Amino acid sequence: MNRIEGKTAIITGATAGIGYKTAELMAVEGVKLILTGRREKRLQEIKNQLTEQYNTTVDVASFDVQDAEACRSFVESLSTPVDILINNAGLAKGTDPVYGASFDDWNTMIDTNMKGLLYLSRLISPQMRERNTGHIINIGSTAGHESYAGGVVYSATKHAVKAITEATKKDLHGTDVRVSMISPGLVETEFSEVRFRGDKEKAAKVYEGMKPLTPEDIAEIIVFVANRPAHVNIMDTIIYPVSQSSATMVHRDE
């Protein structure tokens, strides 16, 4: 049963990877989309593609979720209530140890992965609470369940997403607003390319000798979580490719 048809969903970080595939699959389901990201041209291309291919409406807004005032202006500009907020925007920068990492990298990860998610949750949740309906879906990571060397701040931000998700559900206790988290393992997206500062060769090695998850794998689960009956709240899902058993255990073919 399609319970999300006709609903309105915000998807942050929608220009590529998981965000883009989630937008596409939700468009298939007839969800009205509000897509955000930093690449305005790419957002317009996605809007044109989805409106041509699927019978739904797509609005786009280009801004950086690190900017609290930009987030506020975006939410104030909305003319329709938001049924689903998918906090997907996030990134990793570098794999340096704690004693050699860049403050700028740390700030970018904290400001995007934590603060950006918090800003939009803070701005959207009051209307959901007032209407006594809605669903906040945060994209976490298996790094939010298990830390690893070289991921001190990225892991910290994803542990924070887990804590934020749990605390948000408790803050909204007694309402019909749902709060969920999706925690993927290795997914082949632009993620590693961003982490390694555009080094495509280094990024490709992350997925060498194994079959990683695809953005569509995760998007399907996001749609599944959003599409549960109104009394069902899936708090978290941990998704690994079969070749991966933990953050650091990956079987690779020789």
- Which pLDDT score, from 0 to 100, does residue 201 have? 86
- Which pLDDT score, from 0 to 100, does residue 204 have? 84
Query: CA of 193: how far to CAs of 37, 119, 123, in Å?
Result: 17, 26, 31
Taking the model in full, what pTM does it have?
0.96
- Blockwise average pLDDT, block size 10, the chain, 254 residues: 96 97 98 97 97 94 98 97 97 95 97 98 98 98 96 97 98 98 93 78 88 97 98 98 94 90
CA distance 63 to 66: 9
Which of 242, 237, 238 is closest to 211 using CA atoms? 242
> For residue 119, what are the contacts with CB-CB under 8 A and spacing of at least 6?
65, 68, 71, 72
Catalytic residue from among 20, 54, 119, 154: 154
* Complete domains list, the chain, with CATH: 8-239 (3.40.50.720)
Question: Is 122:172 a contact under the CB 8 Å cutoff?
Answer: no
154 among known catalytic residues: yes
